[in-house]
């Protein structure tokens, strides 16, 4: 059985395994974080780094102000400076109050931490058990089942969880021997919250039948973390070879040919590199199905909140959901910077001296988007070309074609298609006006 002094010895050993940098304890005022702060404050090695505490006040409980004051008293007793950060939890994102509060809390931590600073978190072995089981019930893969890591990046700082091998009873023993007070969050009794239901209703039964359940689950999580790290390294090596010239594109046949264990992690690494949200496992399976079964002339697309993946020819493209102009949108253009609809950028007519020029009423142009059937002549003496054929020859994906502005003259003859093609008439007209067409995307 571990004693209160064991906690300090474990923390002292843990300090030698992390970067030499200041430490900030995430202090909620509960048992776990209170014991962690007190134990670290007893270690000269922690104080020498520069030890402080951060308390995030979500304002979700009527007594949250009392919690802040409690954290101030505890920090003063430990002779550790405390920062109290008050936040407003975004309740309108449809992700649940618990998830929204966690997101707000970690955003506050990231903003408060200095470059390279280490945020000490009081998650322990019991928390790890709960996390693994919850991930398992949500059909997580190796990355999720590996659960919490001892040290990981947190923005420009680090998140450090030194207590993952320690049962909660050790923290309780330390807090009792040190005569610490702590806060009991009333929301922890709400079994409508999944983690609380697991903690209060299911785990006592599991531990009664298997007394070493927490140790075994923690050991399994360690093995899975190692496997997840290996797979992630393999995904990092394989990804550049699958991407097209556009980093947001991927060779879909090569992706489908990957080993089952590598396909999902590589997809997620690719999406993270593009700052796009990741899909759930059902959406990944649907993407695999569509790519494997859709005929070559089809354009499969799988969407989830904030992202979509579309196939065109040999590549799939990942993107945020594309905005398109209203059907039939058209406007007269006097040559001054024109803001296009659907966040499609700005059209500019620039001269050799000034960046923008205004046209007389009799010279004003028309701007619209593709409607079908457009044709233009690119070379003197040549015939007219269908815009559809030009798009296909240039390999422009169909969903991008409706987002490219078309500039026409007073007689509705095409002068330019974005900055991709300038017609014979367009070259003459822009030369006559002494300007060139620019499209700032």
Average pLDDT over residues 59-77: 86
Q: In terms of domains, do 24 and 144 share one?
A: yes
pLDDT of residue 184: 87
Q: In terms of domains, do 69 and 130 share one?
A: yes
- Judge whether 305 lies within some domain: yes
pLDDT of residue 42: 95
Q: In terms of domains, do 208 and 151 share one?
A: yes
Q: In terms of domains, do 362 and 288 share one?
A: no
- Judge whether 347 lies within some domain: yes
pLDDT of residue 48: 95
Which position has the token pair 């697309």?
Answer: 301
CATH number at residue 201: 3.40.50.620
- Judge whether 315 lies within some domain: yes
CB 304 within 8 Å of CB 277: yes
Q: Is 213 exposed, middle or buried (0-12, 13-18, 19+ CB in 10 A)?
A: middle
pLDDT of residue 93: 57
- Give the N- to C-terminal CA distance of the chain in Å, as an integer: 64
Structure confidence at residue 79 as a pLDDT band (50, 70, 90): very high
Lowest mean pLDDT: which of 60-64, 67-71, 318-322?
60-64
Structure confidence at residue 378 as a pLDDT band (50, 70, 90): very high
pLDDT of residue 38: 97
* Per-residue model confidence as pLDDT tens digits over 413-437: 999 999 999 999 999 999 988 889 9
- Judge whether 276 lies within some domain: yes
Rounded distance between C-alpha atoms, residue 41 and residue 7, angstroms: 12
* Per-residue model confidence as pLDDT tens digits over 88-109: 877 665 566 777 888 889 999 9
Rounded distance between C-alpha atoms, residue 260 and residue 132, angstroms: 22
Rounded distance between C-alpha atoms, residue 205 and residue 212, angstroms: 12
Average pLDDT over residues 275-289: 94
pLDDT of residue 91: 64
**Alpha-carbon separation of residue 164 from 10, 124, 131, 382, 423 (angstroms):** 11, 4, 11, 73, 67
Rounded distance between C-alpha atoms, residue 350 and residue 381, angstroms: 28
Which residues lie across from 422 on neighbouring strands?
416
* Per-residue model confidence as pLDDT tens digits over 334-372: 999 999 999 999 999 986 655 667 888 888 999 999 999
Lowest mean pLDDT: which of 54-63, 150-159, 254-263?
54-63
- Judge whether 237 lies within some domain: no
Q: In terms of domains, do 145 and 47 share one?
A: yes
Residue 84's domain spans which residues?
A: 4-221
Q: In terms of domains, do 40 and 154 share one?
A: yes
Structural domains of the chain, count: 3
Q: In terms of domains, do 194 and 83 share one?
A: yes
Q: In terms of domains, do 340 and 315 share one?
A: no
Q: In terms of domains, do 278 and 338 share one?
A: no
Rounded to 10°, the helix 168-177/31-41 angle is 60
Q: In terms of domains, do 205 and 64 share one?
A: yes
- Judge whether 229 lies within some domain: no
pLDDT of residue 356: 65
Per-chain mean pLDDT for the chain: 92
Final residue of a structural domain among 297, 319, 341: 319
In percent, the amount of the chain with pLDDT more than 90 equals: 80
Q: In terms of domains, do 96 and 158 share one?
A: yes
């Amino acid at each position: 059985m571990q004693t209160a002094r064991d906690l300090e010895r474990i923390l002292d050993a843990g300090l030698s395994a992390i970067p030499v940098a200041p430490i900030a304890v995430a202090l909620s005022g509960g048992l776990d974080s209170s014991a962690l702060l007190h134990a670290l404050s007893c270690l000269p090695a922690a104080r020498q780094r520069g030890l402080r505490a951060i308390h995030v006040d979500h304002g979700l409980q009527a007594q949250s102000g009392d919690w802040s004051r409690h954290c101030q008293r505890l920090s003063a007793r430990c002779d550790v400076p405390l920062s109290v950060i008050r936040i407003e939890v975004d309740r309108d994102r449809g992700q649940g109050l618990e998830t929204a509060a966690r997101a707000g809390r970690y955003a506050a931590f990231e903003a408060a931490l200095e470059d390279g600073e280490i945020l000490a978190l009081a998650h322990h072995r019991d928390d790890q058990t709960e996390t693994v089981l919850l991930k398992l019930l949500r059909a997580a893969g190796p990355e999720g089942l590996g659960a919490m890591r001892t040290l990981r990046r947190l923005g420009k700082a680090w998140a450090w969880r030194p207590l993952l091998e320690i049962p909660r009873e050790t923290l309780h023993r330390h807090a009792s021997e040190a005569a610490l007070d702590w806060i009991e969050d009333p929301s922890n009794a709400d079994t409508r919250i999944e983690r609380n239901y697991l903690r209060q209703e299911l785990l006592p039964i599991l531990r009664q039948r298997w007394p070493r359940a927490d140790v075994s689950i923690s050991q399994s999580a360690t093995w899975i973390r190692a496997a997840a790290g290996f797979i992630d390294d393999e995904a990092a090596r394989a990804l550049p070879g699958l991407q097209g010239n556009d980093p947001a594109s991927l060779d879909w046949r090569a992706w489908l040919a990957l080993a089952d264990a590598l396909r999902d992690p590589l997809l997620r690494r690719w999406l993270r590199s593009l700052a796009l949200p990741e899909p759930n496992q059902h959406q990944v399976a649907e993407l695999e199905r569509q790519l494997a079964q859709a005929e070559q002339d089809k354009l499969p697309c799988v969407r989830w909140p904030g992202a979509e993946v579309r196939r065109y020819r040999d590549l799939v493209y990942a993107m945020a959901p594309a905005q398109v102009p209203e059907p039939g949108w058209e406007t007269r253009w006097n040559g001054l910077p024109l803001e296009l609809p659907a966040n499609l950028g700005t059209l500019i007519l620039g001269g050799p001296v000034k960046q923008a020029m205004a046209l007389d009423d009799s010279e004003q142009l028309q701007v619209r988007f593709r409607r079908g059937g457009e044709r233009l002549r690119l070379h003197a003496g040549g015939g007219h070309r269908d815009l559809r054929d030009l798009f296909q020859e240039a390999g422009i994906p169909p969903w991008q074609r409706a987002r490219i502005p078309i500039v026409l003259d007073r007689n509705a003859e095409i002068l330019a298609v974005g900055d991709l093609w300038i017609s014979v008439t367009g070259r003459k007209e822009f030369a006559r006006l002494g300007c060139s067409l620019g499209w700032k995307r």
